[in-house]
């Protein structure tokens, strides 16, 4: 009897003291993720910046990524799905454009900050839109349209009405067997060399050394999943097949996989998919409509102009383009990479 009482009281104590995600705030500044002027994005002690191998294309927006971990907690490594994060953790993704991409020192305009809050029962998505003064960002549930202009890396002036997604649109991509889940916090995206304080180091090993990531005892980065490092796309010169498969994994496979929102399409674009027909070679669309462009197959080896995959990547029609969300512009460098890959594929 007494043992049961002590056990029950202990359980209540654990539940009361277990970390919980910060309650949603009206303003980004209220979380205390950054120190000094908010627009400088200088992380506090429990906020850790990170980089990915193959960034998701978002109308040429730049991104800064961070993870917040409550004191004394750590992430758990998983080889093939997103890392397990403790309750109370927050993923932070900042979207911005440099005023002049060839001269970052000329400043930038912050547009939105997306948060994924790890609650005890799952993940919650929140989006914060920055004010004109760049002093704070305010919670926006319904999405927003932000006129933005910038000079790209080639010196050309660009402009568009940047689309901030609403919360339902966030759920449309962040789904694994119907459960809301992070996309980019995976071994294949995070297994890379980064430079900290001037020293190149394995990002995963660095996190393990800092006691914020639990790695298996036999972990070996050289044998762990890893996408080709594609950024910046315009300068990429690595192995073509690995690069194209990495691009499709990062930009398409969060939906096009057996557990994703596009599972019924039968088109599975994960980097480690070995069945050529499943990743598109001579695969007919399940539902042939406008999105097929009257073409027969997702990928026709040697013929990107006859491949539905390229047709949908190039389209700016909201009813045809892929991805459906998160872009208005065609990604010229990504399209060139995929076309070159298809051009060099053979039928075998």
**pLDDT tens for each residue of 233-279:** 766 667 999 999 999 999 999 999 999 999 999 999 999 999 999 99
Check residue 304 and report its DSSP letter. Answer: G
Within 13 Å and on the Cβ side, how many CA atoms surround 279? 21
Distance CA 191, CA 203 (A): 6
Please, are residues 317 and 289 in contact by the beta-carbon 8 Å criterion? no
Candidates 194, 200, 316, 324; CA nearest to 255 is: 324
Residue 127 sits at the vertex; the CA angle it makes with 229 and 35, to the nearest 5 degrees, is: 75
Q: What is the predicted pLDDT for the residue at 10?
A: 44
pLDDT tens string 207-235: 999 999 999 998 999 999 999 999 777 66
Q: What is the predicted pLDDT for the residue at 135?
A: 98
pLDDT band of residue 26 (cuts 50, 70, 90) is very high
Average pLDDT over residues 161-177: 83
Q: What is the predicted pLDDT for the residue at 9?
A: 37
Measured in whole angstroms, how far is the alpha carbon of residue 26 from the centre of its chain? 24
Candidates 27, 20, 175; CA nearest to 113 is: 27
Beta-carbon contacts of 197 under 8 Å, excluding residues fewer than 6 positions away, are none
SS3 assignment, position 17:
helix
Burial class of residue 230 in the structure, from the number of CB atoms within 10 Å of its CB (0-12 exposed, 13-18 middle, 19+ buried): buried
What percent of the chain stands above pLDDT 90? 77
Q: What is the predicted pLDDT for the residue at 288?
A: 65
Check residue 292 and report its DSSP letter. Answer: G
Q: What is the predicted pLDDT for the residue at 235?
A: 67
Cα–Cα distances in angstroms (integers) from residue 185 to residues 103, 106, 291, 329, in the given order: 29, 31, 30, 25
Measured in whole angstroms, how far is the alpha carbon of residue 338 from the centre of its chain? 19
Q: What is the predicted pLDDT for the residue at 7?
A: 35
pLDDT tens string 279-318: 999 999 987 678 899 999 999 999 999 999 999 999 999 8
pLDDT band of residue 13 (cuts 50, 70, 90) is very low
Tokens of 7: 């056990």
CA dihedral 82→84→86→92, nearest 10 degrees, is: -10
Cα–Cα distances in angstroms (integers) from residue 310 to residues 26, 75, 275, 282, in the given order: 41, 37, 20, 14
Cα–Cα distances in angstroms (integers) from residue 227 to residues 25, 82, 255, 306, in the given order: 35, 14, 17, 27
pLDDT tens string 122-154: 999 999 999 999 999 999 999 999 999 999 999
Candidates 331, 243, 321, 271; CA nearest to 58 is: 331
What does pTM read for this prediction?
A: 0.90
Candidates 177, 136, 123, 142; CA nearest to 40 is: 136
Distance CA 243, CA 238 (A): 7
Beta-carbon contacts of 107 under 8 Å, excluding residues fewer than 6 positions away, are 98, 99
Check residue 27 and report its DSSP letter. Answer: B
Candidates 95, 127, 81; CA nearest to 327 is: 95
Phi (first) and psi of residue 105, to 5 degrees: -65, -10
Strand partners, 247: none
Distance CA 179, CA 107 (A): 38
* Total residues belonging to the chain: 348
Residue 89 has pLDDT above 50, yes or no: yes
pLDDT tens string 270-288: 999 999 999 999 999 987 6
Residue 20 has pLDDT above 70, yes or no: no
């Amino acid at each position: 009897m007494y043992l049961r009482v002590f056990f029950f009281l202990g359980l209540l104590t654990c539940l009361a003291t277990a970390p919980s995600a910060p309650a949603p705030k009206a303003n980004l500044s209220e979380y205390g993720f950054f120190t000094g002027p908010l627009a400088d994005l200088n992380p506090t002690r429990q906020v850790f910046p990170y980089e990915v191998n193959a960034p998701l294309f978002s109308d040429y927006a730049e991104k800064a990524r961070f993870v917040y971990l409550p004191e004394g907690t750590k992430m758990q490594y998983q080889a093939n799905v997103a890392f397990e994060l403790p309750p109370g953790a927050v993923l932070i993704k900042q979207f911005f454009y440099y005023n002049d991409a060839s001269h970052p020192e000329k400043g930038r305009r912050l547009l939105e900050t997306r948060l994924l809050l790890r609650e005890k029962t799952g993940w919650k998505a929140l989006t914060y839109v920055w004010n004109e003064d760049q002093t704070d960002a305010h919670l926006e549930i319904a999405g927003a349209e932000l006129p933005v202009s910038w000079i790209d890396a080639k010196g050309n002036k660009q402009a568009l009405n940047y689309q901030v997604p609403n919360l339902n649109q966030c759920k449309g991509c962040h789904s694994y067997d119907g459960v809301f889940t992070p996309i980019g916090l995976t071994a294949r995206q995070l297994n890379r060399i980064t430079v900290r304080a001037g020293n190149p180091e394995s990002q995963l090993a660095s996190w393990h050394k800092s006691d914020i990531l639990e790695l298996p005892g036999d972990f070996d980065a050289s044998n762990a999943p890893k996408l080709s490092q594609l950024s910046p796309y315009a300068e990429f010169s690595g192995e073509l097949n690995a690069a194209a498969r990495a691009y499709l994994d990062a930009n398409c496979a969060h939906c096009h996989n057996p557990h994703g929102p596009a599972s019924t399409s039968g088109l599975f674009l994960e980097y480690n998919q070995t069945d050529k027909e499943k990743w598109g070679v001579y695969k007919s669309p399940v539902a042939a409509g406008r999105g097929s462009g009257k073409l027969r197959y997702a990928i026709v080896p040697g013929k990107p102009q006859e491949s539905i995959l390229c047709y949908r990547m190039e389209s700016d029609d909201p009813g045809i383009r892929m991805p459906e969300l998160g872009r208005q512009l065609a990604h010229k460098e990504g399209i060139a990479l995929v076309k070159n890959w298809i051009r060099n594929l053979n039928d075998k």
